[in-house]
Chain A
Amino acid sequence: MTATTNVSNLLSPELLHQLEHLELVTRKVFRGHLKGERRSKRKGQSVEFADFRNYVAGDDLRFIDWNLYARLDKLFLKLFLEEEDLHFYALIDASQSMDFGQPTKLLYAKQLAGALGFIGLCRADRVKIEVLGASRQQPSPVLRGRRSLWRMLEYLDGIQPGVNVPLAEGVKSFCLRNSGKGILVLITDLMDKGGYETALRFLLAQHLDVYVIQVLSPEELRPELQGDLKLVDCEDADMAEITVSRPLMERYQKTLAAFINGAREYCVRRGMSHLLASTETPVEQLVANYLRQRGLVR
């Protein structure tokens, strides 16, 4: 019963309905473990025609094109594209800083992960949602098939903020445990004092199709602060004393823009996709419009 509530909380039925028609796309074609609903680089057994080649002895006779043989009196073999499953990883940053905004960035991240995961489940992909810094003792489930929706949602629902690990460390730990190739969506705010570059380099090394979705709240994008303030970092209790003034706010906007652009450029140069998501943008819109444009979903 709780699961039903959570479903409506995280993913509304309308959204689910909308997502059913989408599928995850990877720019790289990977080899899956099991046969899936996805074309593979490998020629194999599917309904999608790929090519012809001359028959050589030992070939499966089932694939000989008899119509062609009748016309040309030569034996050709029909080659079909192999269909495979896709590994989809959603990596959620559940640090304290994600527990901000209205709705919280974490909730937004969960919704996004849930939506993308659901698309994957619908297309029989291998879906794995993980929290950065999750311990080995409580491994996240590997999901496949529509029936796993409830498990996924349950897992998502169980994610609590407060897992404060440096981004790089969390990503490193993930990479050590998951060596499979596929799509990785990293949902984070990238606000790590240690920098995000190390973390992204780890992902790059995995030959994953990486999508970095940077979730920021409007409070971060356009802070409405006034007066003399002592800003306390919720993660490490670091303090920054500011006196709000117009130049300061302008400087902040510059810094923010530089930060976002820096991240985007870093990603693009390394073949990763970067997407800035404000929690103001509804998830369905993000998935349907922005991610579609970026080619993550189709």
Chain B
Amino acid sequence: MSVLQGLFTNTLLWWQWLILAAVPPLIVLLYFLKLKRRPIEVPSTYLWSRTIEDLHVNSIWQRLRQSLLLFLQLLLVALIMLALLRPGWQGTRLEGTRVILLVDASASMRAIDDQPSRLDEAKKQAVSLVDQMKPGDVAMVISFSDTARIEQSFTENRRLLIDRIQQIEPTIHTTNLEEALRAAAGLANTGRASTKGDEQDVQVADALPATLYILSDGGMRTVPDFALGNLEAKYLPIGTATAANLAIVAFSVDRNPEFPDRAQVFGRVENHGEEEQAVEVSLFHNGQLRDAQQTTVPAHASSGVKFDLSDLDAGLLRLELAAPDALAEDNIAYAAMNRPRPARVLIAGPDNDALRVALRTDEVAKMATVEFADESLLTDPAHQENAATGGYDLIIYDRCQPAKSPLANTVYIGRIPPGDAWSLGEPLTGPDILDVDRAHPLMQLLEVNKLQIAEARSVKGPAGSGVLVDSVGGPLIMIGPRQGFEDLAIGFELITTNAQGQQVGNTDWPRLYAFPLFVQNVLQYLGGAGGATAAPSVKPGTPVTLRAETPVDTMRIVSPAGKSTTLQREGQNTFVYSLTDELGIYEVYEGSGQQVARHFTVNLFDSRESNLAPAESIKLSNTEVKGTTSATTVTRKELWRWIVLLGLGVLAFEWYVYNRRVYF
């Protein structure tokens, strides 16, 4: 019986079969009705009787045997019945009346080791599973990558299901089965009204068991904390185990710290094949080949490549592997160096020669545009609006304090930020420096232990603040967070006004080498200034948060394929772009500007996706689901088309016989 069940798939309900079963007797009946033979008078039946003498023995069967037409008609009906039984072999039998098909559409499914691709193979198998649905069975289709998408909720409509399966598009996202499982489980395992052990525990709705078919190559993490419950999971592995693949799993560009005009490019190539491979890695800069290296990657290992590039200011970088393998998407990686943007810095406060001198260096001129303003500016409404919308990257308040913190990083010299978060301590005279946080980027390469300070007050920042310079009387320089920005408070003035109204130095710091370096650090760290910086790289499908450099309401992103998206501002000058579905370099335009403000890149960089060997089993929490059938045998070989063709042939032959009166 089980053999028969594997061989045939019932496509009709019992009453439909009943109707069909009535057809052959009907044909025979009609045949006998038709056999109301035409009486014809003959001179004598003498010879005829002798002719059919021996045929009379079993006349009814003889009659049937002689009727080729009847035989052909019955054969045709039998063929139709056989076709309706849909004989086939080597197929997996679709189990259960409720079926959930989870089709993996992640990046690894783009591999072409199964022609035309793994996803197409998965779709083919999904369609063949739908084909095996019996009347009354319902199925649901979910495609998943890092997110799950219900392509079609439970339906009996096979055509719709097949349409939806065919519409599943490959993505370049990573794989995460969890969401898909939860979507499936939500329909099979109903929730409970209360917790376990509760007397009021009520089942909300009837649990509906379902069979879960996971069509995937299994390149995914173990799904923790998931109970199958009523779901019966079946895993159909897709892909060939021997699919070789070389992949770039890391690609970054960075400025050489020793030689700021040079850049270093790092790449890491993984080999997921069974054999060691030598591959040529080519680096392209703005589309031009800049360098190439030959590297050998052992089997199941990785190998690094490094390029040193001089005079690399800004531009687009592309790393390519000259390896035609099953998955092409991970053979190219992208990176971009964003053009350095001068930081906009405002110095507010009374005249300060020390600061002016420190900000007049060539290095600073390259890094920032510096404005000086009187403290009277702080009350100007135009400035207040500019500051409130992020018109500056950094505002240095020298011996003055705004009414409200601006949307920028700030430095307070001799003051603290407005509000209750910060507080000043008791005045200190000639405090000795106890400790300096040299690890902090602001204090790198600075020697401030011998700093002489006439008068100071200790500062105390909000929770999360860090002490940069500590003295016996308390912290002198602290840095603290504020809604995405950072405030730096220095507890002493650089220049103070004495009783006579003369400007005198409060510390010897401006005369030390450490001061211009500190100012430079401030501009780089808080002002965001610096040389060309590597554009951020995100994984496909991950939203990118972008901050406009100028206060604009809209931002336009052009994807590698040239698709332009205009974003509206969300909150404080931030824009969120989530259509990172293409690999490559994205261009960011601010406002109505026609110049590319900067770039960001989307790279696969996922070792799990690049590893094309299909997993033998997938782990769902503590359940291990083994691959049930090998991918090649899941496809049901259907015979019904041939049977229908044969039936057509029989029909044509019957027609010929009927018309030509050919009898054998």
Chain A residues proximal to chain B, CB less than 8 Å: 96-98, 100-101, 105, 189, 191-193, 217, 219-220, 223, 225-235, 238-248, 251-252, 255-256, 259
**Interface-lining segment among B49-57, B152-160, B358-366, B547-555:** B49-57
Complex CA gap A243/B67 in Å reads 8
Q: With A243-B66, A248-B52 as given contacts, are A228 and B38 in contact (CB-CB < 8 Å)?
A: yes
Min CB distance, B195 to chain A, in Å?
81
Chain A residues lying within 8 Å of B664, measured Cβ to Cβ, are: 245-247
Complex CA gap A229/B51 in Å reads 14
Complex CA gap A233/B46 in Å reads 8
Chain A residues lying within 8 Å of B41, measured Cβ to Cβ, are: 231-232, 234
Chain A residues lying within 8 Å of B63, measured Cβ to Cβ, are: 243
Task: Convert B98-134 into 0s and 1s, putting 1 for each residue whose CB lies closer than 8 angstroms to a CB of A.
Answer: 0000000000000000000000000000000000000
Chain B residues lying within 8 Å of A251, measured Cβ to Cβ, are: 51-52
Contact of B52 among A191, A225, A228, A242 (CB under 8 A): A242
Interface centre among A100, A226, A240 (most CB of B within 10 A): A240
Contact of A245 among B37, B50, B66 (CB under 8 A): B66
Contact of A231 among B34, B40, B50 (CB under 8 A): B40
Nearest chain A residue, comparing its CB with the CB of B35: A228
Interface flag for B15 (CB, 8 Å): no
Min CB distance, B658 to chain A, in Å?
11
Contact of B45 among A100, A239, A256 (CB under 8 A): A239
Complex CA gap A101/B41 in Å reads 12
Complex CA gap A245/B68 in Å reads 10
Q: List residues of B (25-65) whose CB comes within 8 Å of A's CBs.
A: 34-35, 37-52, 55, 59, 63
Nearest chain B residue, comparing its CB with the CB of A226: B661
Contact of B40 among A96, A229, A243, A259 (CB under 8 A): A229
Question: Which 3 pairs from chain A and chain B are nearest by CB?
Answer: A191-B44, A230-B37, A245-B663
Interface centre among A97, A105, A233, A256 (most CB of B within 10 A): A233
Complex CA gap A245/B47 in Å reads 16
Q: Is B663 touching A229 in the complex (CB atoms < 8 A)?
A: no
Chain B residues proximal to chain A, CB less than 8 Å: 34-35, 37-52, 55, 59, 63, 66-67, 661, 663-664
Q: Is A234 touching B42 in the complex (CB atoms < 8 A)?
A: yes
Prevailing SS type, chain B contact patch: mixed
Nearest chain B residue, comparing its CB with the CB of A245: B663
User: What are 12 A-B pairs at a CB distance below 8 A?
Assistant: A105-B43, A220-B47, A230-B37, A231-B48, A233-B45, A234-B43, A238-B45, A243-B66, A243-B67, A248-B51, A252-B51, A259-B47
Q: Is A255 touching B66 in the complex (CB atoms < 8 A)?
A: no
Complex CA gap A244/B63 in Å reads 10
Min CB distance, B382 to chain A, in Å?
109
Q: With A191-B47, A259-B47 as given contacts, are A233 and B42 in contact (CB-CB < 8 Å)?
A: yes
Q: Is A225 touching B40 in the complex (CB atoms < 8 A)?
A: yes
Complex CA gap A192/B37 in Å reads 25
Min CB distance, A3 to chain B, in Å?
30
Q: Is A252 touching B47 in the complex (CB atoms < 8 A)?
A: yes
Q: Is A235 touching B44 in the complex (CB atoms < 8 A)?
A: yes
Q: Is B45 touching A230 in the complex (CB atoms < 8 A)?
A: no
Complex CA gap A256/B42 in Å reads 15
Q: Is A252 touching B37 in the complex (CB atoms < 8 A)?
A: no
Nearest chain A residue, comparing its CB with the CB of B44: A191
Chain B residues lying within 8 Å of A192, measured Cβ to Cβ, are: 46
Q: Is A252 touching B48 in the complex (CB atoms < 8 A)?
A: yes
Q: With A243-B66, A245-B66 as given contacts, are A229 and B37 in contact (CB-CB < 8 Å)?
A: yes
Min CB distance, B2 to chain A, in Å?
45
Q: Is B46 touching A193 in the complex (CB atoms < 8 A)?
A: yes
Chain B residues lying within 8 Å of A247, measured Cβ to Cβ, are: 663-664
Chain A residues lying within 8 Å of B661, measured Cβ to Cβ, are: 226
Chain B residues lying within 8 Å of A246, measured Cβ to Cβ, are: 663-664
Q: Is A240 touching B35 in the complex (CB atoms < 8 A)?
A: no
Q: Is A241 touching B44 in the complex (CB atoms < 8 A)?
A: no
Chain B residues lying within 8 Å of A239, measured Cβ to Cβ, are: 39, 45
Chain A residues lying within 8 Å of B47, measured Cβ to Cβ, are: 191, 220, 252, 255-256, 259
Chain A residues lying within 8 Å of B39, measured Cβ to Cβ, are: 229-232, 239
Nearest chain A residue, comparing its CB with the CB of B664: A246
Chain A residues lying within 8 Å of B40, measured Cβ to Cβ, are: 225, 229-232
Min CB distance, A29 to chain B, in Å?
37
Chain B residues lying within 8 Å of A105, measured Cβ to Cβ, are: 43
Complex CA gap A232/B45 in Å reads 7
Q: With A243-B67, A246-B664, A255-B51 as given contacts, are A231 and B43 in contact (CB-CB < 8 Å)?
A: no
Complex CA gap A167/B572 in Å reads 126
Q: Is A244 touching B663 in the complex (CB atoms < 8 A)?
A: yes
Complex CA gap A219/B46 in Å reads 14
Interface centre among B43, B49, B63, B663 (most CB of A within 10 A): B43
Complex CA gap A13/B46 in Å reads 38
Other A-B pairs, 12, CB within 8 Å; known A100-B43, A101-B43: A193-B46, A217-B43, A231-B45, A234-B43, A239-B45, A240-B52, A242-B51, A243-B66, A245-B66, A248-B55, A255-B50, A259-B50
Contact of A189 among B43, B45, B55, B67 (CB under 8 A): B43
Q: Is B42 touching A231 in the complex (CB atoms < 8 A)?
A: yes
Nearest chain B residue, comparing its CB with the CB of A96: B43
Nearest chain B residue, comparing its CB with the CB of A243: B66
Min CB distance, B397 to chain A, in Å?
115
Chain A residues lying within 8 Å of B67, measured Cβ to Cβ, are: 243
Min CB distance, B92 to chain A, in Å?
49
Chain A residues lying within 8 Å of B46, measured Cβ to Cβ, are: 191-193, 233
Nearest chain A residue, comparing its CB with the CB of B49: A240
Complex CA gap A191/B42 in Å reads 12
Nearest chain B residue, comparing its CB with the CB of A238: B45
Q: Is B44 touching A233 in the complex (CB atoms < 8 A)?
A: yes
Chain B residues lying within 8 Å of A189, measured Cβ to Cβ, are: 43-44
Nearest chain B residue, comparing its CB with the CB of A241: B37
Min CB distance, A32 to chain B, in Å?
37
Min CB distance, A234 to chain B, in Å?
5
Chain B residues lying within 8 Å of A98, measured Cβ to Cβ, are: 43
Q: Is B52 touching A229 in the complex (CB atoms < 8 A)?
A: no
Q: With A240-B49, A242-B52, A252-B51 as given contacts, are A191 and B43 in contact (CB-CB < 8 Å)?
A: yes
Complex CA gap A68/B42 in Å reads 70
Chain B residues lying within 8 Å of A248, measured Cβ to Cβ, are: 51-52, 55, 66
Complex CA gap A14/B35 in Å reads 51
Interface centre among B37, B38, B67, B664 (most CB of A within 10 A): B37
Nearest chain B residue, comparing its CB with the CB of A236: B45
Complex CA gap A228/B628 in Å reads 59
Nearest chain B residue, comparing its CB with the CB of A258: B50
Chain A residues lying within 8 Å of B37, measured Cβ to Cβ, are: 228-230, 241
Q: With A226-B661, A241-B37 as given contacts, are A97 and B51 in contact (CB-CB < 8 Å)?
A: no
Q: Is B38 touching A227 in the complex (CB atoms < 8 A)?
A: yes
Q: Is B48 touching A97 in the complex (CB atoms < 8 A)?
A: no
Nearest chain B residue, comparing its CB with the CB of A225: B40
